[in-house]
């Protein structure tokens, strides 16, 4: 009991013995702490202090206890020491050091949610779903997530060897990744086939919403946009407000985007579109895959529920929980799961993800050249003329894609299918409008 009395003030706890009667709701949060469990805790504390092979400071034991308490809740709650807290703040601003991957814990190993575009991890071939089992010579099992992240970070230019298990592979794979200062351009845009816009969001940062609006405006200045492909594949998420702002760009004012529910009243929030659809209702196809998580799923879910876009690809990751960063003393913080996300129609994203309207798996397509040139009517001698004196126009077609564009579409089957679908939507809408 002596050690218990000593530790309680340090941990900021009280036993609440003999507390006055409270309501059922208050009892859940103010119930007396389990005295027997606290005795067990202090006994373990004493045994470690007395018998561990090397001396351990009280501060180290207490911090490890806090890490274990948070780590035992779910894969996304964590205790942030000053270094980890600073890294988290830097990550949301778009520039940080490391490998460029979003990770979580699963079965004691580090699971890759997604590599971030144009980072060392992506260039080295790290894939969503990879399980990291070793970092250099250190086994990951039993290591806390923040400790693993700390090992992956380091001086730019230095190498780290990731030993991974990958689905479909029978043996572990070793991949050497060179650390770098990660500067993430969260939004990229380009034109496809002349009149179709392509927007790629690699991560949701504080400025992503504004960047999306600017990119759409830039594309609209170059051509009369007919439709857009929004690519959220391998986007591990990020800032919630950025996801709301991106959704707002494609939805009409007051349309519900996402809401959250948790035990605390302040965890129950609703986010709706503040402005009209920036694109005026242009046809929209959204690409997702297993690496699309959190904020990506909020955007895809909102656009799907409002039937504003067709979602294409493979089912998303399924991270539908809200983490709140609660600052503590001494530059430390808790990253604590406080609520769940729900789509406008009340679907929970957690552990389910977003199911695409049209499933398209990554594939490689080989073009088959015809064995010989087929003869057409126009090749027959003495064929009748068109009758409208526009025979030359028969050979006219849509603007040919550039060589670079052809390579992009040939290498990315899902994007090619999204573009084909987008063209079909445009043709259908134009035909319907023309037919009254």
95 pLDDT above the threshold of 60 = yes
Q: Considering 77, 186, 316, 319, which one is annotated as catalytic?
A: 319
Contact indicator for 203, 246 with CB cutoff of 8 Å: no
pLDDT of res. 414: 97
In a domain, 429, yes or no: no
Residues 226 and 131 in one domain: no
147 is catalytic: no
371 pLDDT above the threshold of 80 = no
- As a whole number, mean pLDDT of residues 152-181 equals 94
Average pLDDT, the chain: 87
| CA proximity to 308, closest of 351, 335, 273 | 273
pLDDT of res. 178: 96
Which residues form the domain of 56?
Answer: 2-13+24-71
CA distance 184 to 182: 6
Residues 345 and 202 in one domain: yes
The residue among 329 and 137 whose pLDDT is bigger is 137
Residues 163 and 232 in one domain: no
What is the percent of the chain with per-residue pLDDT over 70, rounded to a whole number? 86
Sign of CA dihedral 203, 209, 210, 212: positive
The rounded radius of gyration (Å) of the Cα atoms in the chain is 27
Residues 327 and 199 in one domain: yes
* Least confidently predicted of 24-28, 171-175, 366-370: 24-28
CA distance 91 to 100: 10
pLDDT of res. 374: 77
Tokens of 25: 């709701």
- As a whole number, mean pLDDT of residues 13-19 equals 37
Measure CA 52 to chain center.
42
Q: Indicate the helix (H) or strand (E) that contains 296.
A: helix 295-305
In a domain, 423, yes or no: no
HSE-up (13 A, CA, CB side) for residue 9: 4
Which of 183, 210, 225 corresponds to the end of one domain?
A: 183
Residues 28 and 62 in one domain: yes
What is the CATH classification number for the domain harbouring 154? Answer: 2.30.42.10
Number of domains in the chain: 3
Tokens of 246: 């991106």
Residues 138 and 213 in one domain: no
Please write the tens of the pLDDT for every residue from 357-367. Answer: 999 999 987 77
CA distance 113 to 292: 8
Q: Considering 77, 202, 294, 296, which one is annotated as catalytic?
A: 294
| CA proximity to 4, closest of 13, 60, 55, 19 | 13
Q: Evaluate if pTM is beyond 0.85.
A: no
Q: Considering 81, 211, 231, 305, which one is annotated as catalytic?
A: 305
What is the CATH classification number for the domain harbouring 246? Answer: 3.90.226.10
Residues 6+ apart with CB under 8 A from 6: none
376 pLDDT above the threshold of 80 = yes
180 pLDDT above the threshold of 70 = yes
396 pLDDT above the threshold of 60 = no
| CA proximity to 15, closest of 32, 30, 2, 27 | 32
DSSP state of 355: P
Phi-psi region of 210 (alpha: psi -120 to 50; beta: other; left: phi over 0): alpha
| pLDDT tier at 51, thresholds 50, 70, 90 | very high
| CA proximity to 181, closest of 246, 249, 120, 247 | 120
Strand 310-313 versus strand 284-288 pairing type: parallel
pLDDT of res. 3: 55
- As a whole number, mean pLDDT of residues 429-433 equals 69
In a domain, 334, yes or no: yes
Residues 195 and 313 in one domain: yes
Residues 36 and 122 in one domain: no
HSE-up (13 A, CA, CB side) for residue 141: 4
412 pLDDT above the threshold of 70 = yes
HSE-up (13 A, CA, CB side) for residue 133: 8
Contact indicator for 336, 323 with CB cutoff of 8 Å: yes
Please write the tens of the pLDDT for every residue from 64-81. Answer: 999 999 989 998 899 998
In a domain, 383, yes or no: no
In a domain, 175, yes or no: yes
The residue among 92 and 268 whose pLDDT is bigger is 268
CA distance 67 to 348: 28
pLDDT of res. 84: 81
In a domain, 35, yes or no: yes
| CA proximity to 105, closest of 57, 82, 71, 136 | 71
CA distance 214 to 221: 11
Residues 274 and 326 in one domain: yes
In a domain, 230, yes or no: yes
pLDDT winner (highest mean) among 12-26, 43-57, 75-89, 387-401? 43-57
Residues 48 and 108 in one domain: no
Residues 244 and 352 in one domain: yes
The residue among 139 and 370 whose pLDDT is bigger is 139
In a domain, 78, yes or no: no
Residue 190's CB: how many other CB atoms inside 10 A?
16
12 pLDDT above the threshold of 60 = no
| pLDDT tier at 370, thresholds 50, 70, 90 | confident
pLDDT of res. 62: 94
319 is catalytic: yes
Residues 111 and 153 in one domain: yes
316 is catalytic: no
Which of 183, 213, 239 corresponds to the end of one domain?
A: 183
pLDDT of res. 16: 38
CA distance 284 to 273: 17
Q: Is 311 exposed, middle or buried (0-12, 13-18, 19+ CB in 10 A)?
A: buried
């Amino acid at each position: 009991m002596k050690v218990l009395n000593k530790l309680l003030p340090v941990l900021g706890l009280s036993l609440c013995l003999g507390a006055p009667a409270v309501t059922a709701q208050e009892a859940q949060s103010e119930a007396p702490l389990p005295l027997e469990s606290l005795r067990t805790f202090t006994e373990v504390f004493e045994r470690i202090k007395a018998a561990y092979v090397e001396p351990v400071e009280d501060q180290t034991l207490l911090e490890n206890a806090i890490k274990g308490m948070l780590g035992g809740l779910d894969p996304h709650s964590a205790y942030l020491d000053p270094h980890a807290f600073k890294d988290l703040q830097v990550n949301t601003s778009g520039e940080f050091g490391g490998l460029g991957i979003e990770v979580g814990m699963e079965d004691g190993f580090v699971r890759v949610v997604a590599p971030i575009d144009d980072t060392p991890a992506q260039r080295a071939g790290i894939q969503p779903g990879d399980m990291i089992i070793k970092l250099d010579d250190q086994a990951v099992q039993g290591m806390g997530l923040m400790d693993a992240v700390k090992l992956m970070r380091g001086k730019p230019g230095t190498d780290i060897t990731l030993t991974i298990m990958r689905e479909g592979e029978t043996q572990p794979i070793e991949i050497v990744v060179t650390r770098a200062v990660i500067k993430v351009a969260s939004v990229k845009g380009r034109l496809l086939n002349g009149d179709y816009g392509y927007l790629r969001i690699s991560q949701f940062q504080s400025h992503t919403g504004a960047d999306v609006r600017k990119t759409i405006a830039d594309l609209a200045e170059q051509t009369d946009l007919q439709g857009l492909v929004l690519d959220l594949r391998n986007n591990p998420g990020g800032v919630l407000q950025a996801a709301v702002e991106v959704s707002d760009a494609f939805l009409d004012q007051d349309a519900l985007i996402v809401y959250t529910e948790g035990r605390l009243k302040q965890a129950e929030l609703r986010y709706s579109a503040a402005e009209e659809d920036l694109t005026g209702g242009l046809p929209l196809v959204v690409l997702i895959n297993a690496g699309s998580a959190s904020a990506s799923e909020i955007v895809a879910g909102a656009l799907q529920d409002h039937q504003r876009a067709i979602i294409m690809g493979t089912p998303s990751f399924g991270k539908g929980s809200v983490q709140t960063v609660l600052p503590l003393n001494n530059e430390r913080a808790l990253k604590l799961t406080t609520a769940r996300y729900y789509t406008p129609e009340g679907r929970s994203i957690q552990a389910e993800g977003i199911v695409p309207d049209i499933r398209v798996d990554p594939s490689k397509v080989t073009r088959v050249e015809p064995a010989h040139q087929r003869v057409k009517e126009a090749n027959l001698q003495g064929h009748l003329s068109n009758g409208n004196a526009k025979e030359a126009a028969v050979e006219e077609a849509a603007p040919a894609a550039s060589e670079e564009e052809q390579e992009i579409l040939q290498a990315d089957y899902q994007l090619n299918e999204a573009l084909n679908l987008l063209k079909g939507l445009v043709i259908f809408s134009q035909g319907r409008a023309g037919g009254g």
